[in-house]
């Protein structure tokens, strides 16, 4: 992006120089010292060619103090010599100055290289060069009101030039600072995306290999310490592979759900997996407490009544709510004929209903059960 800006500035510098040369030719009859004018315009051409070659070979050098300093020196020379190379009436006659728009490229270069403060100060300095030349070679005033040897309207014109040059340098520097900040954010996002892709690739490779091996060691080990070590290693590896990043807005919720899953694994010697997307929005505290409590009760029911060996807790954001699924591979039951116990009716339905959510049970004998929970981002009372 920075090179694109520098290329655009190079185009502007060339266009400004061409117009400066055209103005010099058209105003040649008003020149009092044509040789000095041609030498200064030639120096600007040399700087333009030099900076263009640097852009092709080493763009970073364009932002070094030496290069910017040379360009500023030539721009100041053009501004200071305006009243010197032209006849005195030219200074306040409304004609184009010697440098025309070319010094603006210098001011923009300083802002791009060193930021808005340096760019603004350089603009004021270059504008002041034009003012000094005009005041030094100003014709005798014709008005009775005189400030610094010239009429007030002429002084206002010079001050306006300084202000405009300063604004150009400041705005150019600020725009470049925003561009660099955007490039840093893009680079950070690309690194995070690369890390996420790498972790996803590792997860795919390890999920069906190392994790299942650890689970097999846990189940078949005769040594309780070996089984506990395998369980702990499997849990840590799952947390690393499938846990959300630290910057996720739902870190607290995931931490609570993983704690509930660990309690289930410890109590029933089974496995529980918590899957949460990175874009899950934060929930209000009452909703989060209700959801965690309901999931914990659903896990307990899966281990206590369903004898499940594996449970998956899955969350997904909807338009105005969060969907949560607790699916197990236990014995299952028939919801049409089974009476809901206290745990399901009060600890699950009761909690979710209090915060304005809904509960759905999908189960069948022999194929496990799934508890589907849908909760709003905030309870109904908080939305009024």
Q: What is the pLDDT of residues 166-207, one digit of tens each?
A: 998 898 888 888 888 887 888 888 887 887 777 677 766 665
34 and 173 co-located in one domain: yes
Residue 41 falls within a domain, yes or no?
yes
Say if residues 62 and 6 touch (Cβ distance below 8 Å).
Answer: yes
Name the strand (E) or helix (H) holding 19: helix 2-26
How far is Cα of residue 101 from the mean position of the Cα atoms in its chain?
Answer: 34
Last residue of a domain, one of 162, 187, 212: 187
Q: What is the pLDDT of residues 20-66, one digit of tens each?
A: 999 899 888 888 889 999 999 999 999 999 999 998 888 888 889 99
132 and 22 co-located in one domain: yes
370 and 265 co-located in one domain: yes
Structure tokens at 23: 């103005």
Residue 208 falls within a domain, yes or no?
no
Beta-strand ranges (E) seen in 263-382 are: 271-275, 310-317, 321-328, 358-363, 369-376
Residue 216 falls within a domain, yes or no?
no
More confident residue, 225 or 74: 74
178 and 256 co-located in one domain: no
Residue 213 falls within a domain, yes or no?
no
92 contact partners, CB below 8 Å, separation of at least 6: 134, 138, 139, 150, 154, 157
Rounded Cα–Cα distance for residues 217 and 83 (Å): 91
Last residue of a domain, one of 163, 187, 211: 187
Last residue of a domain, one of 138, 169, 187: 187
Rounded Cα–Cα distance for residues 166 and 107 (Å): 8
15 and 160 co-located in one domain: yes
Residue 249 has pLDDT above 50, yes or no: no
Q: What is the pLDDT of residues 103-152, one digit of tens each?
A: 999 999 999 989 899 999 999 999 888 878 777 765 555 555 555 555 66
Q: What is the pLDDT of residues 266-316, one digit of tens each?
A: 888 888 999 888 778 889 989 999 999 999 999 998 998 889 999 999 999
The CATH number linked to 306 is 3.30.565.10
Mean pLDDT value of segment 256-264: 89
Residue 209 falls within a domain, yes or no?
no
73 and 167 co-located in one domain: yes
Residue 210 falls within a domain, yes or no?
no
Residue 197 falls within a domain, yes or no?
no
126 and 256 co-located in one domain: no
181 and 265 co-located in one domain: no
> Domain of 98?
2-187
35 and 158 co-located in one domain: yes
**How many structural domains are present in the chain?**
2
Rounded Cα–Cα distance for residues 39 and 128 (Å): 22
> Could you tell me which of 376, 286, 360 has the C-alpha nearest to residue 325?
360
Q: What is the pLDDT of residues 319-370, one digit of tens each?
A: 889 999 999 999 988 887 766 666 677 789 889 999 999 999 998 898 899 9
179 and 64 co-located in one domain: yes
Say if residues 102 and 13 touch (Cβ distance below 8 Å).
Answer: yes
Say if residues 244 and 250 touch (Cβ distance below 8 Å).
Answer: yes
180 and 302 co-located in one domain: no
139 and 258 co-located in one domain: no
What's the order of all strands across the beta sheet hosting 321-328? 271-275, 310-317, 321-328, 369-376, 358-363
Residue 341 falls within a domain, yes or no?
yes
| pLDDT at residue 146, rounded to an integer | 57
């Amino acid at each position: 992006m920075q090179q694109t800006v520098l290329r655009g500035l190079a185009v502007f510098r060339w266009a400004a120089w061409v117009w400066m040369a055209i103005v010099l030719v058209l105003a040649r009859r008003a020149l009092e010292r044509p040789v000095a004018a041609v030498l200064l315009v030639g120096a600007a051409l040399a700087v333009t060619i030099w900076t263009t070659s640097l852009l092709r070979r080493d763009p970073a050098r364009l932002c070094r103090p030496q290069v910017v300093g040379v360009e500023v020196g030539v721009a100041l020379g053009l501004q200071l010599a305006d009243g010197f190379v032209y006849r005195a009436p030219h200074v306040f006659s409304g004609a184009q100055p010697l440098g025309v728009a070319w010094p603006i490229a210098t001011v923009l270069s300083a802002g791009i290289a060193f930021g808005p403060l340096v760019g603004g100060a350089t603009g004021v300095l270059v504008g002041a060069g034009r003012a000094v030349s005009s005041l030094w070679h100003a014709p005798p005033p014709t008005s009775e009101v005189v400030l610094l040897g010239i009429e007030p309207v002429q002084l206002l014109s010079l001050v306006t030039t300084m202000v405009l040059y300063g604004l150009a340098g400041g705005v150019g520097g600020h725009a470049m600072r925003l561009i660099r900040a955007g490039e840093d954010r893009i680079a950070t996002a690309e690194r995070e995306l690369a890390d996420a892709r790498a972790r996803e690739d590792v997860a795919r490779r390890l999920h069906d290999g190392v994790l299942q091996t650890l689970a097999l060691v846990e189940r078949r080990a005769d040594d309780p310490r070996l089984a506990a070590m395998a369980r702990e290693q499997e849990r840590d590896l799952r947390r690393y592979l499938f846990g959300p990043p630290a910057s996720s807005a739902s870190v607290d919720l995931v931490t609570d759900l993983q704690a509930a899953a660990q309690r289930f694994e410890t109590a029933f010697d089974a496995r529980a997996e918590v899957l949460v997307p990175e874009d899950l929005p934060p929930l209000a505290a009452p909703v989060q407490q209700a959801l965690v409590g309901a999931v914990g009760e659903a896990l307990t029911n899966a281990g206590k009544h369903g004898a499940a060996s594996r449970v998956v807790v899955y969350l997904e954001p909807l338009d105005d709510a969060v969907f949560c699924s607790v699916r197990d591979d236990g014995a299952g039951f028939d919801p049409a004929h089974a009476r809901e116990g206290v745990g399901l009716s009060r600890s699950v339905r009761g909690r979710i209903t209090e915060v304005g959510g809904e509960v759905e049970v999908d189960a069948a004998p022999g194929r496990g059960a799934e508890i589907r929970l849908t909760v709003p981002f905030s309870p109904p009372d908080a939305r009024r």
